[in-house]
Chain A
Amino acid sequence: MKKDAEFYQRDRTWHPPALTPDYKTSVARSPRNALISLENTVGDVTGPVFGHDDIGEGDNDLLHNFAAPGESAIGERIILHGRVMDENARPVAGTLVEIWQANAGGRYRHRKDAYFAPIDPNFGGCGRVITDEDGYFYFRTVKPGAYPWRNTINAWRPAHIHLSIFGTGFAQRLITQCYFEGDPLIPRCPIVGSLPDPEAVERLTATLDMNATIPLDSIAYRFDIVLRGRRSTLFENRLEGN
């Protein structure tokens, strides 16, 4: 059997560069030296393994995972679903996907968020799930609201959900944000604008998916995730000890 080995190199021209001056916070937080390129070693092709003991049954239901019994979060009820795959189009099964977001009014449940849109007492704003054998995942939640931030005095973030994904090796570790089809704030956002390629913006825009709605209950958005793919050890370029 061919064993999985190291990851394809990350295409850094496709990801946002460290320094994106229109997104002001990046200016003082971006390294100025070039990254040092490393070949993968064992600590890069391995990563933490999560099981169903690590999370709770309803952790992916943000409508209810922080709500009082019999109540649920306020807002437009949505399903966010998709598959985690690698660049070889193979499903990434059993991997942890975590999300966090503002409530329907654009307010985060966070001690540092002072926006005056109210906290929803029945909404925490975080969820997590482990992908099934096909790499599939879903969350139930509310569509987050847009909110102002101080990048400029009239800056508004488009509605978005943050996602954190692990994969099978630590070199696949990824955090991103998912936007929603049709939002006019997307092209105005400097964080979205940190992406050099318009196609990358499209990739982060979830698509309305009428086939996955729950009729008379929730509409659905599809958001597929692709993690770095692995070489197979067809040739003798494999890692020592792997």
Chain B
Amino acid sequence: MARKLDYLRETPSQTAGPFVHIGLAPKAAGFDIFERELGEDIAGPNAAGERIRVEGLVIDGTGSPVKDALLEVWQANADGFYAHPDGGGPVEERFRGWGRVITDFDTGEWAFDTVKPGPTPGRNGAAQAPHLNLWIVARGINIGLSTRIYFSDEEAANAADPVLNGIEWANRRPTLIAARKMRGDAPVYRFDVRLQGEDETVFFDI
């Protein structure tokens, strides 16, 4: 027998359950407790770049919308910098780049407003196309699902993106691309997450 390594093991995951809102979005659960609810404002008032809305559904394997999910987004600013000491560079004051939204209790629709991120550095010098990192938890999801939201109007950057290109099944890559349309003057991206079944969204082990 060799000596045992003394690394600790990660705390194992458990589902967030149906009442995740109480802890992470109490106003949605139906009560007001904290002065500041976290994750409501992703980009802040000073962020440069195009203001966008991203919206969609989370759809289960029966084709039904999931009405008790919570989604978190983590993104770079328009310069491609994350609001973190190792984030690549400075960000605008009050740009946090992180937010959380819930799926509507009646319709399952979710939406958040932010700014469109810039490209970010990938590994070995390859640029990554603009994207949002998305993390999804809900009742019935035993460990949070990680995916990415890319943008349909970034065709050239998407075509060169190392992560998209690393997905062996080219026909699955479009599940990560949000479709842009205009609603009045406002750009809106549609991104439906399919947990299972035909066109199942690509999820990552990061």
Contact = CB atoms under 8 A, between A and B. Distances in A.
Interface of A: 4, 8, 10-12, 14-18, 20, 23, 25-33, 35-50, 54-56, 59, 65-66, 85-89, 96, 98-101, 108-113, 124-126, 128, 162, 164-165, 170-171, 173-177, 191-192, 194-195, 197, 200, 203-204, 225-229, 239-242
Interface stretch (B47-55, B150-158, B177-185, B194-202): B194-202
B203 A177 contact: no
Contacts, number: 271
B145 A31 contact: yes
B83 interface: yes
Contacts of A50: 38
B141 to A, nearest CB: 6
B154 to A, nearest CB: 16
A54 B38 contact: yes
- Mostly, the B contact residues are loop
A109 B87 contact: no
Contacts of B16: 162, 164, 175
B138 A111 contact: no
Contact of B7 (A4, A37, A229, A241): A229
- Chain B contact-residue range equals 35 or more
Given A27-B61, A204-B11, 15 more contacts: A16-B142, A18-B141, A25-B140, A26-B142, A30-B196, A38-B166, A41-B123, A41-B128, A43-B133, A86-B8, A109-B30, A111-B105, A170-B74, A176-B12, A192-B14
A39 B126 CA distance: 13
A180 B29 CA distance: 25
B186 interface: no
Contacts of A171: 146, 206
Contacts of A87: 7-10
